[in-house]
């Protein structure tokens, strides 16, 4: 298959035109130089990709080291974001092409209801792979005339790269019932890529498709970012879940998941039986990793994760091993984790300006327990302390019996002077939330257990020493 070889150009339309040609037949290979994205807003700038998929790489003869190539650059032009409508200005936004007549004819219609309770029928098509690799992406957000507004949201959706499945209207069914075909990608793969000068919006954004799977497989490998112009948004962000997500070897500013539109398991889906989103994360260094999706719809297998500013997790299940995680003083909650295991993890906890350590806060919510095991973990306080605790909690004001925590700490190491007579106002844990708190006595050394663990007065709080 002959490749499309693209020379660099000062014409912002050349790259998108070549991508559209390449998505029909051939790989697109970029020659050294700068390739500009096209300014545009909203759906008008979306690039439809058909069943043949899309491959973008670097042309033969470009030095492979260092990789990603600094010689091949995709760049957002300066002053290309519309100052009168700064949101939804994308660099490259990829969506699946509309269903073909053959796909519509072969549809197997399933019933569903919308948010207003009105019925419709749907069919899901998953096809087409996007594979992009080998070059540098200049988001160029410092040259767009943007300033951070008071509400911090002016350009937050103006991602450099965006990917999402899409809903298309289909002919009505019997009795005039509405019908839709949801089309998702089989795979989106980004490898050996460097993102520069991000800010205000996400560098890479996986948006919502409002069905499952929006994208069946996401592979992100050997991704770096630097020279961010501000801390708004993330290097890699998911507003919608994908079925299988693999992220390996990344050194980035922020990895972010926030799926709060509706529980993923309630959306129209391809599979007859719900399958949670699976996240495999390996060797990732980031200032911030924050992962949140309501409904207990994703599982994590994380290894060698490092955060230098903050780590947060909401309604997840799985394991994180061999990692070093730092949390912020004002954001310490681990919400509604479901059988989550942290194994051989070092936690870095800050003391505030008064020397108080507020500690990790396993948190249940009405009807949703929080179940966590800390195995062979090490707890480190970043700076000088005089009071506080490594684990904290508050008793839930609810009669909901499922609103409890189950916290287990086995084989853990705590700061030598923490919860000792030298610092009488420090404790390993304030066990004040209903549930069962289990600690290995040998981990406490010669500490006084009554100082080490402060138990709330309620009878539905159980503290166990094993």
- Put residue 427 in one of left, alpha, beta given phi > 0 → left and psi -120 to 50 → alpha: beta
Per DSSP bridges, beta strands 69-75 and 370-375 are unpaired
pLDDT of residue 160: 98
Whether residue 195 is contained in a domain is answered as: yes
Q: Is residue 48 part of a domain?
A: yes
Report strand pairing: 110-113 vs 119-126. antiparallel
pLDDT tens readout for residues 105-129: 999 999 999 989 999 999 999 999 9
If 0-12 CB within 10 Å is exposed, 13-18 middle and 19+ buried, where does residue 32 land?
Answer: middle
- Asked if residue 152 has pLDDT above 70, the reply is no
Residue that wins the pLDDT comparison between 295 and 253: 253
140 vs 161: CA distance, rounded Å: 13
Spatial CA neighbour of 72 closest among 84, 83, 64, 80: 64
Residue 122 domain flag = yes
Angstrom distance (rounded) from CA 91 to CA 158: 8
Q: Rounded to whole angstroms, how far apart are CA atoms 258 and 250? A: 20
Range of the domain at 130: 4-275
Predicted pLDDT of residue 17? 96
User: How far is the C-alpha of 396 from the C-alpha of 413, rounded, in Å?
Assistant: 28
* pLDDT tens per residue across span 302-354: 999 999 999 999 999 999 999 999 999 888 888 889 899 999 999 999 999 99
Cα separation, 105 vs 286, whole angstroms? 46
Tokens of 434: 């209903």
Query: Taking the model in full, what pTM does it have?
Result: 0.96
How far is Cα 456 from Cα 459, in angstroms, rounded to an integer? 8
The domain tally of the chain equals 1
In tens, the pLDDT along 201-216 reads: 999 999 998 999 999 9
Q: Longest Cα pair distance anywhere in the chain, in angstroms?
A: 78
The reported pLDDT for the residue numbered 396 is 85
Examine residue 346 and state whether it is found in any structural domain, yes or no: no
pLDDT value of position 169: 97
Q: What's the pLDDT score for residue 80?
A: 94
Question: Is 329 part of a structural domain of the chain?
Answer: no
What percent of the chain has pLDDT above 90? Answer: 86
Is the pLDDT at 400 greater than 80? The verdict is no
**Peptide bond connecting 68 to the previous residue in cis, omega within 30 degrees of 0:** yes
The dihedral region occupied by 221, where left means phi > 0, alpha psi between -120 and 50, and beta the remainder, is: beta
- Residue carrying the six token digits 């289909």: 170
Position 398 scores a pLDDT of 73
**Mean pLDDT of the 67-86 span:** 93
- Domain assignment present for residue 332? The answer is no
Can you read off the two tokens belonging to residue 259?
């799926």
Q: Which of 307, 308, 454 is nearest to 389 (CA)?
A: 454
Contact (Cβ atoms closer than 8 angstroms) between residue 223 and residue 253: no
Pairing of strands 179-196, 166-170: antiparallel
465 CA to centre of own chain: 36
The alpha carbon of 452 is separated from its chain's Cα centroid by a whole number of angstroms, namely: 35
Asked whether residue 372 is domain-assigned, the answer is no
The answer to whether residue 426 scores a pLDDT higher than 80 is: yes
Mean pLDDT taken over the chain: 94
Which contacts qualify for 315-323: CB closer than 8 Å, 24 or more apart? 315/368, 316/291, 316/340, 317/276, 318/279, 319/343, 320/345, 321/345
Average pLDDT over residues 288-295: 94
Residues near 315 by beta carbon (within 8 Å), at least 6 away in sequence: 292, 293, 294, 295, 296, 297, 298, 335, 336, 337, 338, 368
CA pair distance 109, 124, nearest whole angstrom: 9
Per-residue pLDDT, 263 = 85
Rounded Cα–Cα distance for residues 146 and 349 (Å): 35
d(CA 160, CA 205): 8
Give the whole-number percent of the chain exceeding pLDDT 70: 98
What's the Cα-to-Cα distance from 144 to each of 11, 89, 139, 238, 369, rounded to whole Å?
18, 11, 10, 24, 45
Phi, psi (degrees; rounded to nearest 5) at 446: -95, 20
Q: 318 lies in a domain? A: no
- Looking at residue 1, its pLDDT comes to 65
């Amino acid at each position: 298959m002959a490749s499309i070889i693209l020379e660099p150009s000062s014409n912002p339309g050349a790259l998108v035109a070549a991508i559209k040609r390449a998505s029909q037949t051939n790989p697109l290979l970029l020659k050294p130089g700068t390739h500009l994205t096209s300014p545009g807003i909203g759906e008008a700038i979306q690039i439809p990709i058909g069943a043949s998929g899309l491959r973008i790489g670097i042309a033969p003869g470009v030095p492979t080291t260092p990789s990603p190539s600094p010689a091949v650059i995709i760049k957002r032009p300066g002053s290309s974001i519309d100052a009168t409508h700064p949101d939804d200005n994308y660099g490259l936004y990829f969506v699946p092409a509309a269903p073909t007549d053959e796909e519509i004819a072969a549809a197997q219609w399933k019933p569903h209801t919308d948010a207003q309770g009105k019925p419709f029928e749907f069919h899901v098509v998953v096809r087409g792979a996007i594979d992009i690799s080998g070059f540098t992406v200049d988001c160029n957000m410092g040259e767009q005339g943007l300033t951070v507004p008071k509400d911090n949201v002016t350009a937050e959706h103006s991602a450099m790269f965006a990917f999402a499945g899409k809903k298309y209207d289909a002919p009505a069914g019997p009795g005039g019932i509405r019908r839709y075909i949801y089309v998702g990608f089989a795979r989106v793969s980004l490898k050996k890529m460097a993102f520069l000068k991000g800010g205000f919006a996400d560098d890479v954004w996986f948006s919502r498709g409002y069905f499952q799977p929006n994208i069946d497989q996401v592979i992100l490998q050997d991704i770096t970012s630097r020279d961010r112009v501000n801390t708004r948004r993330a290097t890699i962000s998911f507003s919608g879940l994908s079925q299988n997500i693999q992220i390996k070897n990344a050194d980035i500013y922020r990895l972010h998941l926030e799926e709060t539109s509706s529980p993923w398991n309630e959306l129209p889906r391809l599979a007859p039986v719900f399958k949670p989103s699976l996240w495999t994360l390996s060797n990732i260094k980031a200032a911030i990793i924050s992962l949140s999706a309501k409904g207990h719809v994703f599982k994590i297998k994380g290894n060698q994760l490092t955060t230098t500013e903050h780590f947060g997790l909401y309604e997840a299940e799985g394991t994180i091993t061999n990692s070093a995680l730092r949390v912020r003083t004002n954001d310490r909650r681990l919400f509604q984790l479901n059988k989550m295991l942290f194994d051989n993890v070092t936690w870095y906890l800050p003391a505030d300006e008064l020397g108080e350590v507020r500690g990790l806060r396993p948190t249940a919510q009405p009807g949703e327990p929080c179940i966590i095991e800390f195995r062979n973990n090490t707890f480190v306080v970043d700076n000088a302390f005089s009071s506080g605790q490594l684990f904290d909690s508050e008793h839930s004001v609810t009669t909901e019996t499922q609103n409890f925590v189950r916290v287990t700490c086995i084989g853990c190491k705590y700061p030598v002077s923490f919860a000792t007579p030298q610092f009488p106002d420090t404790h390993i844990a304030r066990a004040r939330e209903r549930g069962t708190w289990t600690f290995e006595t040998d981990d406490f050394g010669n500490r006084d257990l009554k100082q080490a663990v402060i138990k709330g007065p309620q009878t539905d709080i159980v503290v166990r020493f094993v």
